[in-house]
Each structure stands twice: as structure tokens, then as C-alpha cells.
Structure 1
Amino acid sequence: MTVSSTSPLRRRLALLAAHLVVALIALVVIGGATRVMEAGLACPDWPLCYGTLLPGRQMNIQVFLEWFHRLDAFVVGVALLVMAVASFVWRRLLPGWLPWLCTVLVFLVALQGGLGALTVLQLLPSGIVTAHLALALTLVVLMSGLTQRLLQPSADASPLWWRLLSGFALLGVVSQSLLGARMATSWAAQSCLLGGENCRWLLLHRSMATPVASVVLLFVVTALIAGGWSRRQWPFLLGLCVLVGAQVALGVLTLRLGLSQPGVTVAHQLVAALLVALLAALVARRPETSPTPLPVVLDDTSMEPCHG
């Protein structure tokens, strides 16, 4: 059964999904801030913090960041569980793929919690921290795409070039984000800037920035040149250009400042998460289905006879 875009149930689930995209972006950014502020082990135990739900005596900026990061993850998990239950209860009124995708998302959030526990119990190993971010970005991609599909109940398939270029751009931005995470969690940038050692991750991250930005801009230019539906997406395409420009500027500024300003580094991570979310939404975005014109029926009885 197909539900119109004005269906209250579908609209509420789309609204919940949109809020979850924001919560997941916040989760990525707060996690980055936790690392930048060296607060990854501010709460030495898991899942509690100093053996309690709300550490009062030990509370400071570092403990707050780690505690709030866990709180945000818990809220996301509960909201996804509610969404999954609702999609199964009212599955006859919703797309058949929604309950199963919600189940996958709940599983991924549970796995994300397990990786979060390992980052604390194993004292922040670089590989696990990078995997933790990779899974978080995967959740952002899936939830952003899910939101678009819920908002477009009846739509045509987007052009093949649109899906290919936007997909390549999304893959490039995610890969670049993970390279940056690997560089940050192994403290490679600091080692390279201070002592000229362990520079391979920093050089790889810098060398990949130009190709990734070029793919994103190629997608934007192609969409504008193609015209039609793709050109009508210009507000989102303009947003991509602004985010790419900001990301490049923040990356350069971060290195110029020698990673000494946590706010600039966190802003760099925020823009990366916003790029991932926007590109994922554009990959899933589709043209609205054109209404089928009604056939014109001529009534012979209403026509006057024609005399020669």
C-alpha cells in the first residue's frame, strides 16, 4: 500500500528520522571534541561514569564531553528502537523495506555501543577509534537517505549519472574523513609537524583532499549543466559548494595553527559530517513522479453532424 506524502504516520517517522540525522551528526562532532580535548578516558568505566549515571563531583569539561557523548548515543539508540517497533507495528501502511532497515540500524547502534566500550576498556586503540567513526558515518548515511525516501513516497528513479557522481562524491568524502580520523587517532599530524616523523598519514590526507573536492564540484557542475530536475536542486548543490570551500579553508587553517586550536579542529569535523549527510540525502533524492494525464474522451453524441 502506498501512502501519500501527507500521511501523518509517514510524516512523523520522517520527522523523527530528520531529528536522528541531527543527533548523529552531533554524536560525531562531540566524539571528535572528546578526542581533541583528550577526554576519551575522562570516564574510566563503562557504561556508567565513575560508577553513576551523572557524575557530580568529578564533573568538568572533559568528563562532561565523554558523559554527554554517551548520553547522545543512548538517546539515538532508544529513538531508533522506537522507530523500528513502529515500522513493524504499522508495516502494512509503510514501505516494505522500512522495518528491515530500521532493524539493521538498531543492530548498528548496538555494535557502535560495543565499539565505544572497547575504546574505553582498551585505552583508545587507533584502529577501534577509527572503526567507531566509520560506523557512525555509516549511520549518518543510512539515516539521511532514509529520511529522503520517507519524504518522497512516490518518485521516479534519479538519472544514472546523478547516482554515480553523487555516490562517488559521498564515498570520497567518507574515505577522506576516515583518513583524517586515522591520522588524528595515531597522533600522526602532531608527530609530523613537531618532529617530521610519521608523516605518511598527513601527506595522504592532504593529497586526497584535492581529488575529493574535485569530484564533489564535478557533481555540482554536471547537475547544473544538465538542467531540468537536477538544476532545480540548486539550493542543495550550493550548500555542497559552501561546505567544500569551508572544509578546505578549515583544513588549511588547522595545519597553519599546528592543531593548537581545538575549536578549528572540531569545526573541521563538523563540516565533514554535514557533507556526508548532505551527499547521502542527494544520493537518495529522486524526481517527483509526474501526474499521469487523464485521457480525453470524445462523446460522439455531443457532436453536431457535419454537412458537406
Structure 2
Amino acid sequence: MVSSSSLPIRHRLALLASHLVVALVALVVIGGATRVMEAGLACPDWPLCYGSLLPGRQMNVQVFLEWFHRLDAFVIGIALLVQLGAAWWWRRQLPTWLLPCSAVLVLLVLVQGGLGALTVLNLLPSGVVTAHLALGLLLVALMSGLSQLLLAPQASSLAPSSPLWWRLLGGLSVLAVSAQCLLGGRMATSWAAKRCLDAGQACQWLHWHRTAATPAALTVCLFVAVAMVAGGWARRQWPLLLTVASLVLLQIALGVFTLRLGLAQPSLTVAHQLVACLLVALLAALTCRRPQLSAQPDAAPLDSSSLEPCHG
């Protein structure tokens, strides 16, 4: 059982995790914008950019996107090291799972940095770029879920667990949306959609992406529908559930408009990736969300705003 003296540090780490979710979403989206703007090789060296921490004369929109993408990744790495250090220092007062989880997150960021280096040094190979995106989405999902576990009632061992169907449908929704993102990423990094629309080549990736969109959307909608029908604690999450459903509809509309306009609007493509990443983050947070402990007065302030710092 976690003692009451751990409330301040646990709450601080929860806020740090919530801010890291925002930074990770930004990292994935800026990476997508870098690809759309063909700025992946704007900085020809790594980890510096034109041999310096802050390129001056070479700075333009493309260089800025690539440079800021690396800066965001560096800040996230430092923040995760701080989280790991805090989890170790206060390990007797915090949940036992936090220290190994923090260590895994630091390891994943190191691997992510290595993949980022390979994308530059090997001139943007499609497989490596897709793996880079996959690991980025995994980090978003893990950090979003971790923020919810930290924001759960303090005595988490006494808190009731969410229903099994909630965790199963929520986890399945995260997997479905993530798989759809990776299909889109693979299609984008190989320029399959552009080649298909312009010359009728490599259309199988576009076909697979469009076909997989239906089961992914239905999985998320099933999660929302079952939660609304089940009532009780699940139905009380309706603002977040309806947000998820709205994001699915927006994502479909963005995908249709992007293709109708022949990929001529980079802002639509970036918005498409942003909504997908937000879906992964929000679904992961909902999956790890736990019911409030009504009998514990200390739990209410944390649980009542548990999604606000990260997804509000």
C-alpha cells in the first residue's frame, strides 16, 4: 500500500507524464510534417544540424522542422531520465511497477533515437521510417496509460478495477488504430499514394489502408457503444467517449478530403496524422482509466481531472 506521504511526488510525476504525452504527440506530428514537407534530410548530419546545435545561415522552414523534431526528442529523453531518477529515489513510496516501467521508457527512447539517426544516415529507408513511427506511437500509448495509472486513486491496490470488457475493447481499439496508422505510415514513407494517384503504381498500399479503415473505425465505435449501453461508471465517461467518436468521424473526413485533393494540401495530411495520434493517446488513457474510490477523500481531486492535463 502507498502511504499518504507519497501524494505530492506521485502527483508531480503524473503531471510530468501528462506533459510528456503532449510532447510525444507533438514529436510524432512534427515528424509527419517533416516527411510531408520533404524535410527529412534537411539536416544532412546527425545528431547536430550542419555541424552545430543551432543552425543559423542554413535555417529555413524545412531545416527548422527537422531541427525542432530532434530538439523535442532530446527534451523528452531528458524528462524521461528525470522520471526514472525520481522513480528510483522515491521507490519505497511509489508503486513498484513505476521504476521498471520508467526504465523501459528510457530504453525505448534510446532505440527511437537510434532509428532517427538511421533515417538520416541511410537516406530515409521506408522500413526504418515506419519502425520509427511505430515506436513513436508505442511511446504515446505507454505514456498516456502511465499518466492515468499515476492519476488513479492514491491507494491503487484498494481501487476497483475497470470492467474486463472495458480493458479488452479499449486495448483492441488502441491496437486497431495503431495498425491503421502504421499502414498509413508505410504508404506515406514509400510515397505509394502519390505514385498511385499520379501513375497508377503501388496502389495496393492505398487499397489496404482504405480497406483497414472500416474495421478500425468499427472497433472504436463498438467500444463507445458498449460503454454507453453498459451504464454506470462506463457511461459516466461519455464526454471522453464522444470525443473519441468525433475524432473517428473527423479522421474519416480528413482522409477522404486528402485523397480527393490529390495530396495537394500538406496541412490536411498533417492534420490526419495528428488526429490519429490523438486517438491513440486518448484510447490508451481510457483503457487504463480506473473508477474513482468514492470512500477515499484524497482520490477525488486526482481522479476528477485525471485526463485534463494530458487530453483536456
TM-score (normalizing by structure 2): 0.92
Q: Where do 1:91-240 residues align within 5 Å?
A: 91-152=91-152, 153=154, 154=156, 155-240=159-244
Q: Which runs of 5+ in 2 are unaligned?
A: 297-312
Q: Where do 1:62-101 residues align within 5 Å?
A: 62-101=62-101
Q: 1: CA distance between counterparts of 2:206 and 2:118?
A: 26
3-state SS of 1:93 partner: coil
Q: 1: CA distance between counterparts of 2:193 and 2:138?
A: 25
Q: 2: CA distance between counterparts of 1:209 and 1:106?
A: 32
3-state SS of 1:95 partner: coil
Query: 1:12 corresponds to which residue?
Result: 12
How far apart are residue 3 of structure 1 and its match? Answer: 4.2
Q: Where do 1:233-248 residues align within 5 Å?
A: 233-248=237-252
- Report the structure number with the largest CA radius of gyration: 1
Q: Could you report, residue by residue, the CA deviation over 1:148-178 in whole angstroms, capped at 9, with x for unpaired residues? A: 0000033211111111111111100000000
Q: Could you report, residue by residue, the CA deviation over 1:134-153 in whole angstroms, capped at 9, with x for unpaired residues? A: 00000001100000000003
TM-score (normalizing by structure 1): 0.93
Whether 2:293 is the aligned partner of 1:289: answer yes
How far apart are residue 291 of structure 1 and its match? Answer: 2.8
How far apart are residue 289 of structure 1 and its match? Answer: 3.2
How far apart are residue 107 of structure 1 and its match? Answer: 0.4
Q: 1: CA distance between counterparts of 2:3 and 2:260?
A: 53
Query: 1:56 corresponds to which residue?
Result: 56
How far apart are residue 290 of structure 1 and its match? Answer: 4.6
Seq. identity, % = 70
CA distance 1:275–1:133, shift in 2 (3 Å): same
Check the 8 A contact 2:6/2:93 in 1, yes or no: no
Q: 2: CA distance between counterparts of 1:156 and 1:74?
A: 37
Q: 1: CA distance between counterparts of 2:4 and 2:149?
A: 12
Whether 2:310 is the aligned partner of 1:268: answer no
How far apart are residue 225 of structure 1 and its match? Answer: 0.4
Query: 1:253 corresponds to which residue?
Result: 257
CA distance 1:140–1:3, shift in 2 (3 Å): farther
Q: Could you report, residue by residue, the CA deviation over 1:167-191 in whole angstroms, capped at 9, with x for unpaired residues? A: 1111000000000000000000001
Q: Could you report, residue by residue, the CA deviation over 1:231-275 in whole angstroms, capped at 9, with x for unpaired residues? A: 000111011011101100000010001111110000000000000
Query: 2:27 corresponds to which residue?
Result: 27
Q: 2: CA distance between counterparts of 1:269 and 1:4?
A: 41
3-state SS of 2:92 partner: helix
Q: 1: CA distance between counterparts of 2:4 and 2:126?
A: 46
User: Cα RMSD (Å) of the superposition?
Assistant: 1.2
3-state SS of 1:91 partner: coil
Q: 1: CA distance between counterparts of 2:222 and 2:287?
A: 15
Check the 8 A contact 2:87/2:94 in 1, yes or no: yes
Q: Could you report, residue by residue, the CA deviation over 1:7-52 in whole angstroms, capped at 9, with x for unpaired residues? A: 1111110000000000000000000000000000000000000000
Q: 2: CA distance between counterparts of 1:241 and 1:79?
A: 32
Check the 8 A contact 2:118/2:128 in 1, yes or no: yes
Q: Could you report, residue by residue, the CA deviation over 1:84-123 in whole angstroms, capped at 9, with x for unpaired residues? A: 0010000111000001100000000000000000000000
Query: 1:36 corresponds to which residue?
Result: 36
